Chains A and B, each alone.
Chain A
Amino acid sequence: MPHIALPDGFPGITGGFAFRPETAKPLRALAEVLLRGPSTLTSAERETIAAFVSARNDCRFCQLSHSAAAAHHLGGDDSSVDAVTRDYMSAPLSSKMKALLAIAAKVQLGGTQVTAPDVECARREGATDVEIHDAVLIAAAFCMFNRYVDGLAMVTPTDPALYDEMGRRMAHEGYLRPSRG
């Protein structure tokens, strides 16, 4: 049960969004620009970073919903993002994505953990300054979203079909639509 009286029928973070529309608006806008805005990283890659960080923060709602969004961007294939959250170094990913995930893993622990060699490694694999910036900010943003969801003990559904449907909407309709119960 959530720690505060959130509106009934809204899973996960959408409960917080329905409770406080004033903060929901910029939170949705941030997710939209980071995960679906114009970028040289694909939305599938960016959703994978989100799911990866959420897994490391043990935030089940965010991990499963963003894994599902990544899978929908990949045409329904969820094997790749599952492999990433299990062991990203052996997952079928580009060397650039592995280097960006290594940075995201450091950010999850704490910003000062990211070292110049971590960044140099990403650059050697072809990452641009904007890609490095966005990988850090996506990881940092999910350290926020995960804490928001779990810090208020928001509802975490167990039905996999619900996550699949959420992931479909996140991938294809985006984050700016109003919350649905």
Chain B
Amino acid sequence: MPHITLPADMPGIRGLMAFRPETAAPINELVDVLLRGPHTLTPGERELIAAYVSSENDCKYCRTIHGAVAARHLNNEPLVAAVTCDFEHADITEKMKALLAIAGRTATSGKHVTPADIARAREHGATDLEIHDTVLIAAVFCMCNRYVDGLATLAPDDPEFYRERAKIVSAAGYAASAITPSPSQ
């Protein structure tokens, strides 16, 4: 049960966004820019970073929804599972492996990112903007994960719930779909 009184039909972060629209607006704008804005990393790659960090932080709702959105963008559900399990051996580019390594360090602490981590990413072609956004995506999910779990929001067990939600989010974006009702409820 959530620690505060939230709308019962909106699990995860969405109940919190309905509870406090004033903070929901900038969080949704931030996530839309980072995960869906114009970029040299694809939306699928950026959702993978979000899913990986949420998995490292053991946040069930964020890990599952961003995993489902990544799988939809990439049309590859097993790849998402492989990345969150062991990205160094997953079928992704060397640049993505280096960026996920930076994201994992950031999740532990910003201070854990080393010049060697950055050099590895650059060696595989990562730009300053890609490195910046990787760190910021990881940092943003360290916020969202703590927000969702710190208030003990509900996370459905049924994978189909997340697949259905991913359809809506991947088509319309986060801000536009924040207040739409859950399709399976």
Residues of A within 8 A of B (CB): 3-5, 16, 19-20, 22-23, 25-27, 29-30, 33-34, 37, 57-59, 103, 106-107, 110-112, 114, 116, 119, 129-130, 132-134, 136-137, 139-141, 143-153
Give the CA-CA distance A150 to B113 in the complex, in Å.
8
Q: State how many residues of chain B have any CB contact under 8 Å with chain A.
A: 50
Interface segment among B85-93, B128-136, B161-169: the answer is B128-136
The residue of chain A having its C-beta at the shortest distance from the C-beta of B110 within the complex is A150
Question: Which one of B40-48, B73-81, B144-152 contacts A?
Answer: B144-152
Q: Which B residues fall within an 8 A CB radius of A?
A: 3-5, 16, 19-20, 22-23, 25-27, 29-30, 33-34, 37, 57-59, 102, 105-107, 109-111, 113, 115, 118, 128-129, 131-133, 135-136, 138-140, 142-152
Interface pair A111/B132, CB less than 8 Å apart = no
User: Are the CB atoms of B3 and A29 closer together than 8 Å?
Assistant: no
- Give 22 pairs: A residue, B residue, CB < 8 Å, sorted on A: A19-B128, A20-B129, A20-B133, A26-B30, A27-B26, A27-B30, A30-B23, A30-B26, A33-B23, A103-B150, A111-B146, A111-B147, A116-B3, A129-B5, A130-B20, A133-B20, A143-B139, A146-B139, A147-B106, A148-B136, A150-B113, A151-B102
